[in-house]
Amino acid sequence: MRKLASMEEYEQLKENGKYILMFSAQWCGDCRFIEPFMPEVADKYKEFTFIYVDRDAFIDLCVALDIFGIPSFVAIENGKELGRFVSKDRKTQDEIEQFIAAL
């Protein structure tokens, strides 16, 4: 999973391609819970590029996208939001995969 490096990179990414933005933070216990199985999820859904977005480093982006709980996911294709799985609740691998499959 790639890490978002800058807002400029986000602006470029969101316009071209299919992405799952995963909003997370190092201090987030629920985010650490999903870490072990996220590579498997990303491998299963190769049509998307998975991008790790550090909530603390990109707080303005989180506010702009109404991301107030983590871990959260936003799917984007060619500048259009396809869907979001946004809440403060712990997420299971099955829930994340159901979200992606429903896109």
Is 62 an active-site residue?
A: no
Active-site residue identified among 4, 22, 31, 51: 31
Note the residue count of the chain.
Answer: 103
d(CA 76, CA 82): 5
Is 28 an active-site residue?
A: yes
Quote the tokens at residue 93. Answer: 């691998």
Active-site residue identified among 20, 21, 22, 28: 28
Cβ atoms of 16 and 78 closer than 8 Å: yes
Active site residues: 28, 31
